[in-house]
Structure 1
Amino acid sequence: MGTFYNPDRDITNIKLRYPKEIKYNGEFIAGKFMKYLLAQGLDKKRVVKFCRYAKVVSEWLNKPFDQIDEEDIEEFLAIVNTSKYAEWTKMDIKLTMRKILQCLGKEELDKFTLTIKRHEERLPEILSEDTIKKMVQVASEVDWRDAALLGVAYETAARPNELQSMLIRDVVETPYGFRVSLKGKTGERRLPVVLFASTLKKWLMIHPFAKDPEKPVFCSLASNYLGEFLSYSHFSKIFKKYAKKAGVKNGINPYIFRHSRLTVMAKHMTEAELCEFAGWIQGSKMARVYVHLSGRDIEDKYLQIYGLKEREDENNKTKLVTCMRCQMQNNEIEKFCVRCGYPLTSEAVREVLEGDVFKQELKKMLKELIG
């Protein structure tokens, strides 16, 4: 706990450990190769990833990188193509080899392509919006911080580190709910929070450091780490905890929420809009994968043409209730407006009318009228 992921620590470890741990290429990876990557302007997390993949490649080839030839490249490709790694990981490992060759001035050996087999382009398993709502509901009965984290994670499709680093000053209340600023790989982007605005509102009302703009929104509540950033492992435990409580059996991690949301949004956004929403660079291959594999509900639209299926709007699956007094957008599960306390349901109105406070106020008004 204490701080969110800091790549500087991993870079330091690579510099200290790789020269001792890696037989042939440790000093190259921790020295010249790392400097080359940083000089290209890559962020430090990417540098760490490429260095780790370079270690894997070194172990596969078992010889100094500056001595590799065409035969070694063929052996490398045979190993990576038949490995059990996911297709996207295989592409990253090949990209690592390309950067190693560029760093050594051996570009003539770079004759392989960086593509993913079309049949291997599959979206990960996703959670339905009903399942997300159930997890948020279960969490709200235990901890409003956790409920807000789950809700915001889904609605914004934010990466875990973007949520970890979100500060109080990054959250602005709006007429429709909130606007949050996320700092990701492509810079800062601002996204609305509407579906789970009331859940976030409840957490901010009891946040122990709500008036400190530099404190994390989803901070630690442990006494010895109160107000500090949550670690990724703690984040992951929160998601798994409420998945289990909600009866979700599939493996859950924070990225499943992101994938689930992007799968829904890919049916309603253009590739350019999806890139902006997800925090990808314009033209990202990931946007094309989501849009292509979501099918934009082609089957549903085809059946609608012939009257075989009614139109559905997945974006509006979660209903919002507008407060008549302050116009706050409340989640359908709320009985009272989280901003002003106005009753939103007939049940809430009955609770007010039958409550002792209302009866006392009514008696007071009658006495004043009678004089």
Structure 2
Amino acid sequence: ARVIFYLNRLSTLAKLASKDLDRLSKEEIKSLVIAVERRYSNENSRHDFKVALKKFYQWLHGYEWDSKEYPSMVRWIKTTVRNCKKKLPEEILSEEEVWRMVKAAKNLRDKAFIGVLYESGCRIGEMLSLKLKNVIFDDYGAVIIVHGKTGYRRVRLVASVPHLAVWVSYHPRQDEPEAPLWVSIGTMNHGKGLDYSAARKILRDAARRAGVRKRVNPHALRHARATHLASKLTEAQMCEFFGWTQGSDMPATYVHLSGRDVDKAILSIYGKVVDEREGEEVRVKTCPRCGKENPPDAEYCMRCRMVLDERAAVEAERRERELLELITEDVLERLIEEKIKHVLKECCLNVTQ
């Protein structure tokens, strides 16, 4: 996924450049960077192109891919995004918006994909590399074994498990432990692993159907999950959950966005006790009739079809009331008369036979 990310941007840079990228001088690279800044007003877009450019010359000149060393011709390019330009809290997807997307998704795979991507907080590359054998169901939900930048890690899932379990049961290659967890279900490439563009399309289609107008891409769900969990986990737990190295400054960014520490301090000045349970994440819906655990977006129990959502219950009651109002005394008499005729006809047929 990361390679495709760089290739897409390098393709655009090649069109903007005066000649082949591997033949550009330092001055020509400067002109190319200026062209990018003039063409793109969004700082995140500018950042992406600059990172791709630096990575290209890092590779071209034989530097270690994961190092922070670059050849002098691109070392001067600044790729840091100022804090003031980072996403505002109102631009971050809310839990309610994510579960609306899950509900609006058009098939079992997409519902599970969106739910797991959000709840796990996985990088998209980690998500797409999951295999069926990496999913372990237990009494509490499920655990996925993720391979990321810091090695393997366990990620606990709860809310997305009902959708995940259904998807696994319908997986076209469910008997193959080594098969990708997320595969194509169409006639083209049936059973083959999804790529980054397919993942992005799943999210964009679901967002459109759910009426979510914020910017939606695979990283947006990880960003949202980190922001939502920052008020509930310690920084060490955040590093473990999201696959950051211990001591990383990433948790501090999300604690800042969540307002956790400042909110508690300000409220304590006024003698207000913060309820730690307030703002808890969306929970699974347990059916009061059969005990089945259902995903947060469920309106009806997946096992016994009992109404779980209050709005759905009100709507069902309204439809029932409208139906009863339509059944007048005349309509009722006509229905009884037709039923009697049908029974008499059946009796006559039985006698003749």
- Bin for the TM-score computed over the shorter chain: 0.5 to 0.7
Q: Which runs of 5+ in 2 are unaligned?
A: 64-68, 311-353
Aligned identity (percent) is: 31
Aligned to 2:253: 289
Alignment correspondent of 1:186: 150
- The residue number in structure 2 matching 1:221 is 185
Which residue number corresponds to residue 201 of structure 1? 165
Deviation at 1:163, TM superposition (A): 1.7
CA contact (8 A) 2:172 2:191 kept: yes
Alpha-carbon shift at residue 255 of structure 1 (Å)? 1.8
Distance 1:63 1:157, change over 3 A: closer
What letter corresponds to residue 117 of structure 1 in structure 2? R
- TM score, norm. by length of structure 2: 0.65
Matched with 1:130 is 96
Match of 1:316, SS state, is coil
Distance 1:175 1:324, change over 3 A: farther
Select which of 63, 75, 85 maps to 1:120: 85
Measured at CA, do residues 210 and 109 of structure 1 come closer, stay the same or move farther in structure 2, by a change above 3 Å?
closer
Largest Rg, 1 or 2: 2
Distance in 2 (CA, whole Å) between partners of 1:240 and 1:105 is 35
CA–CA separation in structure 1 for the residues paired with 2:267 and 2:2: 50
Q: Which moved more, 1:146-155 or 1:187-196?
A: 187-196
SS in 2 for 1:273: helix
Encode CA deviations 1:53-82: one digit per residue, 9 max, x unaligned. 99799869x9967x75xx999989988888
Whether 1:162 and 2:131 are equivalent positions in the alignment is no
Question: Could you tell me which of 201, 213, 216 is aligned with 1:249?
Answer: 213
8 Å contact kept, 1:178–1:194 = yes
- C-alpha distance in 1 between matches for 2:162 and 2:192: 24
Give the Å deviation of 1:178: 0.5
1:345-360 equivalent positions in 2, closer than 5 A: none
* Cross-structure match for 2:232: 268
The farther-off stretch of 95-104 and 234-243 is: 95-104
Query: Does the 8 A contact of 2:300 with 2:306 survive in 1?
Result: yes
- Whether contact under 8 Å (2:119, 2:160) holds in the other structure is yes
Secondary structure of the corresponding residue to residue 219 of structure 1: coil
Deviations 1:204-226 (A, max 9, x none): 12222222111121211012322
Q: Distance in 2 between matches of 1:193 and 1:286?
A: 22
Q: Judge conservation of contact 2:112–2:167 (CA < 8 Å) in 1.
A: yes
2:116 maps to 1:152:
yes
Structure 1: 5+ residue stretches without partners: 11-44, 348-371
- 1:298 corresponds in structure 2 to 262
CA deviation after TM superposition for structure 1 residue 193, in Å: 0.7
Q: By how many angstroms is 1:118 displaced?
A: 4.0
> How many angstroms does 1:115 deviate by?
5.3
Equivalent of 1:318, from 282, 294, 298? 282
1:170 is displaced (CA, Å) by 0.6
Q: Hey, what's the Cα distance between the residues in 2 that align with 1:198 and 1:105?
A: 47
Q: Quick one: structure 1 residues 189 and 57, their matched pair in 2 at CA, closer, same or farther if it must change by over 3 Å?
A: farther
Q: What is the CA distance between 1:174 and its match in structure 2?
A: 1.4
CA contact (8 A) 1:177 1:329 kept: no
Instruction: Give the number of equivalent residue pairs.
Output: 299
Name the Cα RMSD after superposition. Answer: 4.6
Q: Distance in 2 between matches of 1:310 and 1:213?
A: 46
In structure 1, give the amino acid aligned to 2:101.
M
Within 5 A, what are the aligned runs for 1:331-350? 331-332=295-296, 333=298, 336=301
| TM-score, structure 1 normalization | 0.62
CA offset at residue 346 of structure 1? 12
